[in-house]
């Protein structure tokens, strides 16, 4: 069944780095309201987005920043970047419990990752998406909120056969749904791989217009899903007859697009759909960037519309509805299993929740 529990004690993308600045940004991750802002020396900070006094959101106006402090817009309670309250209105004594929870933050590959859990991350770091900040790639990106449970987006992205039907005219062609897939699960690393290699396929407009390829293509889709949050689609496109990648890994005859999704659960039935498209061709061509940005956003919004509808259907359904899975779902089933295992492993212990 579709995973609805949250996997805690994990890294999640809360924002792009460019979204976090000297104005407060509020995001809800795994049901936790989080305030994001940047100190004067440029450090990203994540803390609870509720004043300890009467719970007013610190991301809401007239709450504001003064230097490296956040001032609550309701009564003026003031907090430092460590979450400690440093000023209370009309009194000198600051209650010992007047502190906000702070969240470990890592800025990496253009994302601001926050750690959600009841223990510290230790040496655990978020997975990488280095193309997004590589000078060898040009990247466009965005984020669309989804009014659906995150498991629906995981299902969607692990089964690309839907491209043929939901995204026809953009990225879908008949070959996508017709080509069998290979699935691998690395239990040690906790990664799901799904590969679909098309030897002779129509070139969808998304690639024809961005690469200039006129004829048919070899099209490889190699998915790498790092549950719970990061999804990478390594896309290789080349005219039919082009040489394959060389033994040393170089591949000068093909175009490469790295599609990255960060799937961040917000609440039980809402999700942040962070998306990015990085390419290793036409790096300085703004028209190509504009085209890929517009096209990919359109594709993402097609998913959003479908999954929002699906969420409404599922919400009205009896709990024990028997769904059907077929061969194209092999990777999605693997992802669900890993997510369920992670949710079980990271479940909040009663004593931790009561702290």
Partner 1 sequence: MNADDAGARAGRTVYRIRWLPGTDRLHASCFCGAQREFEDPVVLWDWLLGHPEGHRPGRAAAQDAPAPAAALV
Given the rule CB under 8 A, which residues bind partner 1? 175, 178-189, 193, 195-201, 222, 325-327, 329-330, 333-334, 336-337, 340-341
Q: DSSP secondary structure string, 89-136?
A: TTBS---TT-B--B--EEEETTEEEEEESSS--TT--PPP-GGGG-TT
**What is each CA distance from 9 to 118, 172, 213, 282, 346, in whole angstroms?**
7, 36, 45, 40, 6
Q: How far is the CB of 321 from partner 1 (least distance, A)?
A: 15
Closer of 132 and 342 to partner 1 (Cβ): 342
Q: How far is the CB of 327 from partner 1 (least distance, A)?
A: 6
Q: What are phi and psi of 312, to 5 degrees?
A: -65, -40
Q: How far is the CB of 339 from partner 1 (least distance, A)?
A: 9
Closer of 182 and 312 to partner 1 (Cβ): 182
Q: How far apart are CA 343 and CA 333, in angstroms?
A: 15
Beta bridge partners of 44: 38
Closer of 297 and 341 to partner 1 (Cβ): 341
Q: How far is the CB of 244 from partner 1 (least distance, A)?
A: 9
Q: How far is the CB of 57 from partner 1 (least distance, A)?
A: 37
Q: Which residue has the tokens 């924002």?
A: 15
Q: How far is the CB of 268 from partner 1 (least distance, A)?
A: 19
What single DSSP character describes residue 348? P
Residues in the chain: 355
Closer of 90 and 326 to partner 1 (Cβ): 326
Q: What are all long-range contacts of 66-70, with beta carbons under 8 Å and residues at least 24 apart? A: 67/40, 68/39, 68/40, 70/24, 70/35, 70/37
Contact status, residue 232 vs residue 223, Cβ threshold 8 Å: yes
Q: How far is the CB of 308 from partner 1 (least distance, A)?
A: 25
Closer of 85 and 314 to partner 1 (Cβ): 314
Closer of 49 and 224 to partner 1 (Cβ): 224
Closer of 121 and 204 to partner 1 (Cβ): 204
Q: How far apart are CA 38 and CA 219, in angstroms?
A: 42
- Count the helix, strand and coil residues of the chain and give each as a percent rounded to the nearest 5: 25, 35, 40
């Amino acid at each position: 069944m579709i995973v609805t529990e949250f996997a805690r004690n994990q890294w999640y993308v809360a924002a792009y780095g460019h979204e976090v600045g000297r104005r407060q940004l509020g995001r809800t991750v795994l049901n936790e309201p989080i305030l994001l802002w940047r100190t004067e020396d440029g450090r990203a900070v994540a803390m609870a987005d509720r004043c300890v006094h009467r719970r007013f959101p610190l991301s809401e106006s007239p709450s504001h920043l003064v230097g490296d402090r956040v001032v609550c817009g309701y009564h003026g309670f003031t907090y430092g970047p460590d979450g400690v309250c440093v000023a209370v209105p009309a009194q000198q004594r600051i209650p010992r419990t007047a502190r906000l929870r702070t969240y470990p933050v890592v800025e990496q590959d253009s994302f601001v990752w926050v750690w959600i859990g009841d223990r510290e991350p230790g040496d655990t770091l978020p997975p990488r998406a280095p193309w997004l900040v590589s000078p060898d790639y040009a990247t466009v990106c965005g984020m669309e909120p989804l009014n659906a449970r995150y498991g629906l987006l995981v299902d969607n992205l692990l089964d690309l056969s839907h491209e043929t039907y939901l995204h026809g005219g953009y990225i879908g062609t008949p070959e996508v749904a017709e080509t069998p897939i290979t699935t691998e699960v690395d239990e040690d690393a906790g990664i799901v791989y799904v590969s679909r290699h098309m030897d002779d396929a129509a070139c969808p407009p998304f690639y024809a217009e961005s690469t200039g390829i006129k004829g048919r293509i070899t099209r490889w889709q190699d998915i790498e899903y790092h549950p719970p949050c990061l999804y990478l689609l390594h896309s290789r496109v080349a005219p039919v007859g082009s040489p394959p990648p060389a033994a040393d890994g170089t591949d000068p005859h093909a175009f490469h697009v790295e599609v990255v999704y960060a799937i961040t659960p917000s609440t039980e039935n809402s999700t942040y759909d962070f998306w990015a498209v990085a390419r290793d061709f036409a790096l300085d061509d703004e028209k190509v960037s504009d085209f890929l940005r517009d096209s990919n956003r359109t594709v993402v919004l097609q998913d959003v519309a479908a999954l929002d509808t699906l969420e409404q259907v599922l919400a009205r359904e009896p709990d024990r509805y028997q769904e059907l899975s077929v061969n194209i779902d092999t990777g999605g089933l693997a992802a669900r299993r890993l997510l369920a295992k992670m949710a079980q492993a990271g479940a909040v212990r009663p004593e931790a929740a009561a702290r």
